[in-house]
């Protein structure tokens, strides 16, 4: 390894440690009776649909904050995202226009089978992308992503031509000290977050991103609080991370596991929810790549880099 690569490595690790905050575990469910409030989700101007209601199984009272007390995650659909990401030792150049293939996964064997989606970028210097079904034309996307780098420029996702439903919404950073991202749709309010050590260990993952459904509930006595129901998770480890990538690679893909059974009862909702999960997960991977490129650019411009 050259002296230049060593300096980039040291600076990237230092910046990553200072910029990444420790993810907290979801709040434990408090015992008591409560009802779900439906005023948290933003209803699109194109639809008057309300978020699906959750039964007692999903909003059951829990007594502790351990991993065994969290709602059970039941995978009903799995996909394999083959995103190459951005390595730790590299120049901060813009990613290539290489399509990101997304494969179906056989739940009984865990083996990736046929391709389900592709994410395509029309221009290399732009983060914009189109999500298409396998075999469809590039001009016939089911979701468009408008991705703009920088503060105050949240990415926008637009459902298009999906079950005659169209909606546009933003993926917003939850705060300056966290990498969690929130988006509100006609199907509910959701948050992507990075799991802590306990959750990663339970999932057998080196890196674990979790998509929670945020449900605002009313408790006895007029109190309100938020409950989190896991909807999806992106597992990355040596077995399922994208081929030819490492644990240090930013924005690489892995096994995307989804629990869509709450939306299976309404025509089209499960399909829309699957597309939202995939598209928003790809946004999270793009943000990882941009964070890595920013760290590398800072490392290269620092005085000690030229020493």
Selected residue with higher pLDDT from 219 and 171: 171
Contacts of 271 (CB under 8 A, 6+ apart): 162, 163
| CA neighbor of 21 nearest in space, from 161, 196, 230 | 196
Quickly state the pLDDT bin for 4 (edges 50, 70, 90). Answer: very low
Selected residue with higher pLDDT from 225 and 163: 225
Q: Convert the pLDDT of each residue in 81-139 to its tens digit.
A: 999 999 998 888 877 888 999 999 999 999 999 999 999 998 877 789 999 999 998 88
Residue 2 has pLDDT above 80, yes or no: no
Which helix or strand (DSSP H or E) is residue 17 part of? helix 3-19
Quickly state the pLDDT bin for 1 (edges 50, 70, 90). Answer: low
Quickly state the pLDDT bin for 15 (edges 50, 70, 90). Answer: very low
pLDDT at 281: 98
Which of 141-145, 238-242, 266-270 comes out lowest in average pLDDT? 266-270
| CA neighbor of 113 nearest in space, from 79, 82, 139 | 79
Residue 69 has pLDDT above 60, yes or no: no
What angle, 0 to 180 degrees and rounded to 10, lies between the N-to-C axes of helices 3-19 and 269-301? Answer: 130
Q: What is the CB neighbour count within 10 angstroms for residue 21? A: 13
Quickly state the pLDDT bin for 299 (edges 50, 70, 90). Answer: confident
Give just the sign of the alpha carbon dihedral 246, 250, 253, 257: positive
β-pair type (207-219, 224-236):
antiparallel
Contact indicator for 102, 119 with CB cutoff of 8 Å:
yes
Quickly state the pLDDT bin for 16 (edges 50, 70, 90). Answer: very low
Q: What is the CB neighbour count within 10 angstroms for residue 169? A: 19
Written as one string, the DSSP assignment of 106-125 is -TTT--EEEEEEEEE-S-TT
pLDDT at 34: 44
pLDDT at 261: 92
Contact indicator for 236, 206 with CB cutoff of 8 Å:
yes
Selected residue with higher pLDDT from 181 and 177: 181
pLDDT at 58: 34
What is the mean pLDDT of the segment spanning 140-152? 85
What is the mean pLDDT of the segment spanning 71-87? 91
Residue for token pair 């799995």: 78
Contact indicator for 44, 185 with CB cutoff of 8 Å:
yes
Q: Convert the pLDDT of each residue in 40-55 to its tens digit.
A: 333 333 333 333 333 3
Q: Convert the pLDDT of each residue in 207-257 to its tens digit.
A: 999 999 999 888 877 788 889 999 999 999 999 999 999 999 999 999 999
Quickly state the pLDDT bin for 12 (edges 50, 70, 90). Answer: low
Contacts of 44 (CB under 8 A, 6+ apart): 167, 169, 185, 186
**Burial label, 151 (beta-carbon count in 10 A; 0-12, 13-18, 19+):** exposed
pLDDT at 97: 80
In whole angstroms, give the CA distance from residue 153 to residue 195: 25
Domain boundaries, the chain: 3-306
Confidence (pTM): 0.76
């Amino acid at each position: 390894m050259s002296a230049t690569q060593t300096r980039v490595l040291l600076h990237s690790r230092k910046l990553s440690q200072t910029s990444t905050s420790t993810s907290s575990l979801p709040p434990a469910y408090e015992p008591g009776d409560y009802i779900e409030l439906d005023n948290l989700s933003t209803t699109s101007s194109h639809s008057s649909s309300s978020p699906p209601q959750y039964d007692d199984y999903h909003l059951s009272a829990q007594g502790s904050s351990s991993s065994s007390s969290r709602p059970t995650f039941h995978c009903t659909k799995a996909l394999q995202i083959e995103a190459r990401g951005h390595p730790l030792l590299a120049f901060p150049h813009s990613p290539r226009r290489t399509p990101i293939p997304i494969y179906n996964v056989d739940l009984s064997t865990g083996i990736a089978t046929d391709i389900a989606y592709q994410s395509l970028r029309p221009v290399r210097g732009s983060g914009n992308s189109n999500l298409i079904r396998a075999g469809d034309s590039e001009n016939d996307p089911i979701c468009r992503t408008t991705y703009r780098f920088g503060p105050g420029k949240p990415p926008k996702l637009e459902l298009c031509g999906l079950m005659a439903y169209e909606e546009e919404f933003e993926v917003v950073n939850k705060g300056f000290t966290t990498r969690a991202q929130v988006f509100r749709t006609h199907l509910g309010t959701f948050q992507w977050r990075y799991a802590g050590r306990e959750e990663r260990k339970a999932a057998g993952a080196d890196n674990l991103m979790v998509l929670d459904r945020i449900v605002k509930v009313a408790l006895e006595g007029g109190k309100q609080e938020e409950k989190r129901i896991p909807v999806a998770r992106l597992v990355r480890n040596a077995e399922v991370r994208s081929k030819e990538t490492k644990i240090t690679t930013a924005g690489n893909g892995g096994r995307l596991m989804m629990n869509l059974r709450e939306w299976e009862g309404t025509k089209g909702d499960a399909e829309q929810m699957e597309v939202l999960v995939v598209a928003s997960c790809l946004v999270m991977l793009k943000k990882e790549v941009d964070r890595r490129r920013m760290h590398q650019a800072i490392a290269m411009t620092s005085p000690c880099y030229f020493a």
